[in-house]
Chain A
Amino acid sequence: MASLKELKGRINSVKSTQKITKAKQMVAAAKLRKAQAAAEAARPYAERLAAVMGSIAAKVAGQDNGPKLLRGTGSDQRHLIVVVNTDKGLCGGLNSNIVKEAKLQARALIAAGKDVSFYLVGKKGRAPLKREYPSLNAANFDTSNVRTPGFDEASTIAGELRAMFEAGKFDVAHLIAPVFKSALAQDPVTAQLIPVPAPAATTDAGSVVEYEPGEEEILEELLPRYVTTKLFGALLEREASEQGASMTAMDNATRNAGELIQKLTIQYNRSRQAAITTELIEIIAGAEAL
């Protein structure tokens, strides 16, 4: 049985932990609103770009001399997995879910006899993936030095990936990033990044569109931008997912702390009463002995 003083100390320490988790929860809730707004604001650009890509790709489709980013290198031996993790913890199972998905994909590719390498965005995925695949050299991109990763970071990442692709370091790139559904559910989703999967052709027959310069030149210009937009979207989703997961995790932690405090308080009161009773019995027994 812990002494009264010890119990009191524990109650106080749990109380201060609860204060911290409560504060973190409120911060996450505020940031979540901002992140969600940012994700929503980015949607028109992505939609329009996809629509334009669709209409041009439909025209260029079937040609062998299309841009490399659309066509691929002609082989699918070397795969690069781009994993988008968060930089900070305290967000429940989000990062371990992303890492789990990455491992699943990597295992499937390795089982199929492919070469796999990683490109890791965000700090939290590095250690667990390195533990699992110590031989794989992974390139990192650090987003922890900026407050909210934006389009600049996305275009830097896209630039690096394109340079690696041009240099022939990989044939196919996959993007694994969380998709924010709600504060409770953020599922990691795998999507092919390079070569760009041919968008659904939107055939709007009837209107003859003029292109300046040519269709291929425009496509050549748009493809890198499409990759960048994909990465930018992933970064925004990550931000929203992180805050959402953090909010939920901290809400649970606050509630747990509350329960723990209640339990400890009951225990504290019981032992206090027990101590008083023993004292009384001792006094009464003493008085009777006289």
Chain B
Amino acid sequence: MLHFELVTPARLVRSEDVYMVVVPGSEGEFGVLEGHAPFMSTVKDGVLKVYRTESGAPDEIMVQGGFAEVSAAGLTVLAERVEG
């Protein structure tokens, strides 16, 4: 499972283990699965899709002013604003 954290200046919105997250990167969407190579990207305003399981429908979260970091510990998305 991939450890996923979504953080805004006001609070830690999510911290959970999920199957996959699709991030709207500034140079195109990218999906992050467990064991992804270390990676940093800015995120454009858009929808973050969180797949809890391989087959289930994704949770959609609107993010604004974001930044994503993939490290060995998992995926961390910093966003200025979050909806949904």
Q: How far is the CB of A42 from chain B (nearest CB, A)?
A: 6
User: Out of B7, B8, B39, which one reaches A210, CB within 8 Å?
Assistant: B39
Q: B26 on the interface (CB 8 Å rule)?
A: yes
Q: How many chain B residues touch A (Cβ–Cβ < 8 Å)?
A: 24
Contacts of A168 in B (CB 8 A): none
Q: B78 on the interface (CB 8 Å rule)?
A: yes
Q: A80 on the interface (CB 8 Å rule)?
A: no
Residue of A nearest to B68 (CB): A212
A42 touches B40 (CB 8 A): no
A133-141, A218-226, A270-278: which one contacts chain B? A218-226
A41 touches B67 (CB 8 A): no
Residues 213-248 (chain A) with a chain B CB within 8 angstroms: 213, 217-218, 221-222, 225, 228-229, 232
Q: A150 on the interface (CB 8 Å rule)?
A: yes
Contacts of B38 in A (CB 8 A): 207-210
User: Out of B11, B69, B71, which one reaches A41, CB within 8 Å?
Assistant: B11
- Binary flags per residue of B1-18, CB closer than 8 Å to A gives 1, else 0: 000010111111000000
The DSSP consensus for interface residues of chain B is strand
Distance A38 CA – B78 CA, assembled complex (angstroms): 17
A41 touches B10 (CB 8 A): yes
Contacts of B8 in A (CB 8 A): 45, 151
B40 touches A52 (CB 8 A): yes
Interface residues of B (CB under 8 A from A): 5, 7-12, 25-27, 37-42, 65, 67, 69, 71-72, 76, 78, 80
Known interface pairs A42-B11, A44-B12; 18 further A-B residue pairs with C-beta atoms within 8 A, sorted by A's residue number = A41-B11, A42-B10, A44-B5, A45-B9, A45-B10, A45-B12, A45-B78, A46-B9, A48-B69, A48-B76, A52-B67, A207-B38, A207-B72, A208-B38, A210-B40, A211-B40, A211-B41, A212-B27
